[in-house]
Structure 1
Amino acid sequence: MSRPQTPPHEPRYNVHVAPETIEQLIATAFPQIELLSHSELETNKGYNNRLYFLKVRRRAGPGQSSVFRGTDAAERELVLKVNGRFFFSDKVQNEVGCLQVLRQHCPDIPTPTVLAWSEDGAAVALASPSAPEEKKHVALLISESDKQHGGWILMSRLPGIPLSACDDLDDATRLDIMRQLAAMAASWRTKVPAQAFVGNIQFHQPTAHAAEPDFVITDNAGPQPQNLVVRGILVDELRIATPITSVTQQYTLKMEEKLKQLESNDNYTHNRHLAPEIRSFITDTLPQLDAIRQLQGTSSSNFVFTHYDLSPRNILVSGSPPKISGIVDFEFAGFFAPVEEFLNDAVGNEGDWPEHLYKAYLRELGARDIATPTAGISVSIWNAVHCLERVVDNIAPWWLPGRYEGAALDEQFAKSATELQENLRKLS
């Protein structure tokens, strides 16, 4: 029986890494280990990335590969996470940087260890090579057909299965897992230093970034520190080297970018008539929204570490009684206003969590002095940002056309336009 095909509208479509490239990667970058097997995640799983699972074994002899640093195990499982075709090197930089930040400031939270990455599929950087056998940078010889992606990350594979697949857990166990999750989220919101800028992480480049690094990573960074800055917003395609300093500026840039897509991308001609109304809102209404200005607060470092996709599919559990054994998919994580994690739960991941479990999660966060939409974040602020996020989503709805066509596509665009206009009215 043949494997099901990836739908052509998904980012993973036609994105692959050849078996010989995986073999070359291990042999070239990690000569002290042996590749035992590699397999691809089922086609119907994942969306933004193509995932490969690798099993490796340490070779006999002196020295130790960085892959086996901190463990006596003879074998280890790894994950090769390959960017979908709509993403670029900045997504690789962001997830590598976020995982390094968490490892340095919250080492008790179970997250993958970055072992190596490539921004183009050929030039490979090792996170923390074991000298002298392993080098910081190696080059792979690959064909043009093996470059149909935006880079990849090689990382450790964490134990456990996604919470979304744990159908046999009773309610008491699920509530306990939510308490564990709240403890971890509270940890990164308080232990990772808050930042003065909004956005994701980029590798610091003196020629592009005038300022000093926002983070200097010394753990799992190799012989030289990894310098990082907070710049740009991946989910909104804001690829910029200048800082975003306020929530008003953040939403202005987001909406301007979406408006540009609406006016230039032929996928969105159905709703192009909305452009003048959107432009008027950006110019006249958005700068005057008090609820948005209040999010900035009085602190100059008011943007906290945010996972940005804290869904059951990204929470791994294992053991008896079940415990959280891993949190994964930090590809869109970054530094945002404290409300933004909850905002993405309510809009981007709407319906992912059963209501009673999510309320338990919020209660536990509140008990740990983290402001939430149910306690600490004002109703006016929550309602305003919720409406704003609905507006941003529907200016150039990324999920369309997707699998829709004909009358069904017309209906979806009409639905999107109605939602956009309803939320604009609420904000005006």
Structure 2
Amino acid sequence: MLLTFDLSLTPRPLPSNFQPKPLHPVHKSYLDLRIYIARTLYRFFSFLQRVFNFWISKKKDRYVKGKGSSNPGFRVARISGGYYIKWGVRDVEARAMGFVRENTGVPVPRVLGFWSHRGETSSKIGSTSSDGQNKSETSKRRESAGPSELNYMLIEALPGDPVGEVWMEMDDAAKGRFKQELVRYLRELRALEQQPVAGNPHNGDVVDEVKPRYIGAINHQPLTDHRIATVPYGPFEDVEGWLECEYLLGYVAKARPQEVHERLEQELKKRDAGVVFTHSDLTPRNVLVEKESGRITGIVDWDSAGWCVEWWEGVKGVYGWNDGSFAQKLEGKDNITTPSEDSLLGTWRALLREVVGDFDDELKADEEMRDIYGFPY
């Protein structure tokens, strides 16, 4: 495909068990150039739009906010009308997308290419010890310089707009269809079963099966979740191990009195929660919709997807609702975690609760832990 300087690409999506292709330096330079041009054009036209909106506001004596083009996100660039390139990604994101496409009817972008470029770095980020637990930050800093991989992923661009940007323009029929489809797709994801692992990620040994209820990315790999940690972490053999890790209750035990740890522990462990496949960033900016009909055209941004505790989809689904592109704040109120039922946030929480169940107590405990950690945790 001339678009990416790789003539061996075909329109067929990669399977979930694909092997990354090595990236030639010339190929990497070409991809970097395409990314640079795409990002530069995006910033230029965004600047022109802000200038235009400011000029219109001055003439009308009131602020005018234009919808404009959707934010392409972190480390992603639209290199043409039909394709995006994401860089700095992990292969588990592409594998999760393939896994979901192969086993559900959820509309997921096709992954058309995945390349790895080996380089040098001063540390090995996201290292994991032989027992499956993350090494401490001190251990990571002690790692000697060694090769690292910078991955590039080519994915198709799906039609539609982020539902948060068009929700107020949708009629009742379109909103009703959207609600039904979101609930159905979410149930399909949670019905997936953990698959056997082809090999041990630590020593290359063949593994015939994995223990049930493990928490981690696909194929028993570490999770990526910027709510939890700035580096990949895990995997964990059960819910208990995940909750007590150094990024959750393990940190609380070090940073707060024992009674605080015990109270949060009681809130998070009071029910025997199962483990399900979780998108882990299911917010309105990541669900694309055809606003006239309400048909969901795509669910994107699968970098945090994997197997996690069943209530985590609900907690993460309302995490970070300070994005003005979709958060419907109540008049005269700054707290957007207690929405009215007819707001988008109120609708979103109701849809998540319909599938996930009640997660209010876990959400409150998570909010308290975020206050203890500080951003981004």
Shorter-normalised TM-score: what interval? 0.5 to 0.7
Q: Report the RMSD for the aligned CA atoms in angstroms.
A: 4.3
Change in Cα spacing, 1:295 to 1:94, as seen in structure 2 (3 Å) is farther
Aligned pair partner of 2:272 in 290, 296, 302: 296
In structure 2, relative to structure 1, the CA distance for the partners of 1:231 and 1:210 (3 Å cut) is farther
Deviation, 1:182, is: 1.3
Unaligned runs of 5+ in 2: 13-29, 47-70, 120-146, 212-217, 329-340
The alpha-carbon distance between structure 1 residues 251 and 386, as it changes in their structure 2 partners (threshold 3 A), is farther
For the residues of structure 1 that align with 2:277 and 2:11, how far apart are their CA atoms?
36
Which string of whole-angstrom CA distances, capped at 9 and with x for unpartnered residues, describes residues 4-54 of structure 1? xxxxxxxxxxxxxxxxxx968433543999x9x966252462443232333
Secondary structure at the aligned position of 1:289 is classed as helix
Q: Which residue of 1 aligns with 2:23?
A: none
Partner of 2:288, secondary structure, is strand
Partner of 2:256 in structure 1?
278
Inter-partner Cα distance in structure 1 for 2:237 and 2:86 = 29
User: Given the superposition, is the C-alpha separation of residues 364 and 193 from structure 1 closer, same or farther in structure 2, using an over 3 Å criterion?
Assistant: same
The answer as to 2:201 corresponding to 1:205 is: yes
Distance in 2, Cα, partners of 1:112 & 1:371: 24
Give 1:253 shift: 2.7
Query: Cα–Cα, structure 1 residues 334 and 246, in superposed 2: closer, same or farther, change >3 Å?
Result: same
Cα distance between partner residues in 1 of 2:317 and 2:251: 21
Contact 1:92 1:117 in 2 (8 A): no
Aligned residue identity for 2:163: L
- CA positional deviation for 1:328: 0.7
Write the distance in 2 (CA, Å) between the matches of 1:23 and 1:330.
26
The amino acid that maps onto 1:176 is R
SS in 2 for 1:116: strand
Q: Which of residues 228, 245, 250 in structure 2 aligns to 1:252?
A: 245
Partners of 1:40 and 1:148 in 2: how far apart?
Answer: 26
SS at match of 1:40: helix
Paired amino acid for 2:184: A
Please name the residue that 1:323 is paired with.
Answer: 295
Distance 1:258 1:96, change over 3 A: farther
Per-residue CA shift, 1:259-318, capped at 9, x if unaligned?
7xxxxxxxxxxxxxxx96427468x526x8334223434xxxx21111111122111123
Provide the TM-score with structure 1 as the length reference. Answer: 0.53
Question: Are 2:94 and 1:103 aligned?
Answer: no
SS of aligned partner of 2:5: helix
1:178-257 equivalent positions in 2, closer than 5 A? 178-190=179-191, 192-193=192-193, 205=201, 207=203, 211-212=207-208, 228-235=219-226, 236-237=228-229, 239-240=232-233, 242-247=235-240, 249-255=242-248
Contact 2:9 2:113 in 1 (8 A): no
Check the 8 A contact 1:51/1:80 in 2, yes or no: yes
Paired residue type of 2:114: W
Q: Distance in 1 between matches of 2:313 and 2:11?
A: 41
Match of 2:5 among 15, 26, 39: 26
Aligned-pair distance for 1:362? 5.9
Aligned-pair CA distance for 1:398? 2.9
Gaps of 5+ in 1: 1-21, 56-76, 84-90, 123-146, 216-226, 260-274, 401-428
Alpha-carbon distance, 1:154 to partner: 0.9
Matching residue of 2:80: 54
Matched residues, number = 277
Does the 8 Å CA contact 1:202/1:231 hold for their aligned counterparts? no
Aligned to 1:154: 154
Distance in structure 2 (CA, Å) of the matches to 1:195 and 1:294: 28
SS of the equivalent of 1:393 reads helix
CA contact (8 A) 1:208 1:241 kept: no
202 and 117 in structure 1: CA distance in 2 versus 1, 3 angstrom threshold: farther
> Match of 2:357?
372
- Amino-acid identity (%): 16
Whichever residue aligns with residue 372 of structure 1, its letter is: G
Which amino acid in the other structure matches residue 205 of structure 1? P
Output the CA distance in 2 between the equivalents of 1:202 and 1:343. 31
Aligned partner of 1:26: which letter?
Answer: F
* Gap change, CA 1:188 and 1:194, over 3 Å in 2: same
Residue in 2 aligned with 1:308? 280
Q: Normalization by structure 2: what TM-score?
A: 0.59
- Write the distance in 2 (CA, Å) between the matches of 1:296 and 1:195: 22
Question: Among residues 115, 119, 123, which one is paired with 1:118 in the alignment?
Answer: 115
CA distance in 1, matches of 2:246, 2:195: 19
Distance 2:268 2:241 in 1: 6
Aligned to 2:154, the other structure's residue is in SS state strand
Distance 1:364 1:388 in 2: 21
What is the SS of the residue equivalent to 1:325? strand
- What is residue 398 of structure 1 aligned with on the other side? 375
* 1:182–1:361 CA contact under 8 A, matched in 2: no
Paired letter, 1:388: A
**Secondary structure in 2 aligned to 1:254?**
coil
Q: In structure 1, how many angstroms separate the alpha carbons of the residues matched to 2:352 and 2:94?
A: 27
What's the counterpart of residue 347 of structure 1? 319
